[in-house]
């Protein structure tokens, strides 16, 4: 039995997976970013990696090492790039890194490359990198395909109603809130301290950005909403929905290999 994580495979076993028809690699993308006093800096990469693992087991894919640095945290979605613990890449650096990594996997022989994003601010820069990599490798004769997605876009209305029985206030204030904390309580409970959750009203965000950033615009906790209602049970609902829906999307869009490969 082999791991789905390529950094845990020997080169020969890895090459055998790459050579299969429909070979697929999932690249988790996250950030190193503060998530309040109750969670670690690596939440975004940890969650995207765990979701990628589950999706890989459902689709026969492999999982690459996570991209652990992301684009700059912003006050209207992540608390702000000025906060201690948040260590970011500029947009050009992130796009170029993604372009090189995706192009390398395609040149090695993967038929499909999937970018599974776990950090809100990353998306457009991941898009730039993936788009350029596919264009470059197509010119060289590749027929490989790529998919870019953010896991929260697969949370349906029914699941949202169960996780947020008092009403869902929007994705823009979910940084360090119930969604991420619930998933962490399910997947990495030893890294969450619910006694340190600061219960405060949702941040009141403007419809514009100001430069330089004003720390007073977001709560001192670093979170844009309270995680008080987070539970592992709610995390389970989210996790099951996301992994199933992402796997179904990949099966619908890509020619995948044999799901019954030897992985654990």
2 carries an active-site annotation: no
Catalytic residue (choose from 99, 121, 174, 213): 121
In this structure, are residues 176 and 39 in contact, taking their beta carbons and an 8 Å threshold? Answer: yes
Catalytic residue (choose from 111, 174, 180, 213): 180
82 carries an active-site annotation: no
Half-sphere exposure of 235 (CA within 13 A, CB side): 19
121 carries an active-site annotation: yes
Catalytic residue (choose from 17, 38, 53, 119): 119
Catalytic residue (choose from 17, 53, 99, 175): 175
3-class DSSP assignment, residue 194: helix
DSSP line for 207-229: SS--SS--GGGS-TTS-SS--TT
Is the four-CA dihedral 36, 38, 40, 43 of positive or negative sign?
negative
Catalytic residue (choose from 17, 33, 53, 213): 33
Q: Rounded to an integer, what distance in angstroms lies between the CA atom of residue 216 and that of residue 193?
A: 25
How many CB atoms within 10 Å of residue 214?
A: 11
174 carries an active-site annotation: no
Query: Among 24, 65, 25, 26, which residue's Cα sits nearest to residue 46?
Result: 65
8 carries an active-site annotation: no
44 carries an active-site annotation: yes
233 carries an active-site annotation: no
Catalytic residue (choose from 44, 99, 111, 213): 44
The tokens for 77 are 């979605």
Catalytic residue (choose from 17, 35, 38, 174): 35
Q: Rounded to an integer, what distance in angstroms lies between the CA atom of residue 129 and that of residue 91?
A: 10
89 backbone dihedrals φ, ψ, rounded to 5°: -105, 150
- Using a 10 angstrom Cβ sphere, with 0-12 exposed, 13-18 middle and 19 or more buried, the burial of residue 97 is middle
DSSP line for 77-108: TTS-TTSTT-B-B-HHHHHHHHHHHHHHHHHH
Active site residues: 33, 35, 44, 119, 121, 175, 180
């Amino acid at each position: 039995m082999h791991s789905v994580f390529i950094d845990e495979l020997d080169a020969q076993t890895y090459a055998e997976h790459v050579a299969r028809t429909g070979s697929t690699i999932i690249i988790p993308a996250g950030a190193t970013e503060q998530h309040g006093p109750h969670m670690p800096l690596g939440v975004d990469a940890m969650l995207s990696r765990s979701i990628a693992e589950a999706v890989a087991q459902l689709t026969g894919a492999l999982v690459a090492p996570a991209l652990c640095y992301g684009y700059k945290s912003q006050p209207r979605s992540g608390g702000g790039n000025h906060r201690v613990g948040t260590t970011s890449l500029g947009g050009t650096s992130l796009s170029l890194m993604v372009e090189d990594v995706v192009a390398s996997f395609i040149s090695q022989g993967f038929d499909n490359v999937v970018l599974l994003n776990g950090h809100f601010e990353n998306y457009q820069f991941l898009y730039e990198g993936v788009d350029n990599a596919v264009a470059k490798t197509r010119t060289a004769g590749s027929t490989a395909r790529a998919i870019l997605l953010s896991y929260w876009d697969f949370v349906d209305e029914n699941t949202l109603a169960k996780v947020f029985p008092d009403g869902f206030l929007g994705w823009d204030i979910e940084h360090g809130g119930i969604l991420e904390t619930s998933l962490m309580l399910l997947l990495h409970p030893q890294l969450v301290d619910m006694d340190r959750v600061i219960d405060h009203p949702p941040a009141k965000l403007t419809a514009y950005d100001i430069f330089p950033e004003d720390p007073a615009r977001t709560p001192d906790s670093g979170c844009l909403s309270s995680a008080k209602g987070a539970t592992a049970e709610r995390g389970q609902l989210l996790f099951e929905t996301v992994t199933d829906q992402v796997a179904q999307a990949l099966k619908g869009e890509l020619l995948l290999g044999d799901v019954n490969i030897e992985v654990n």
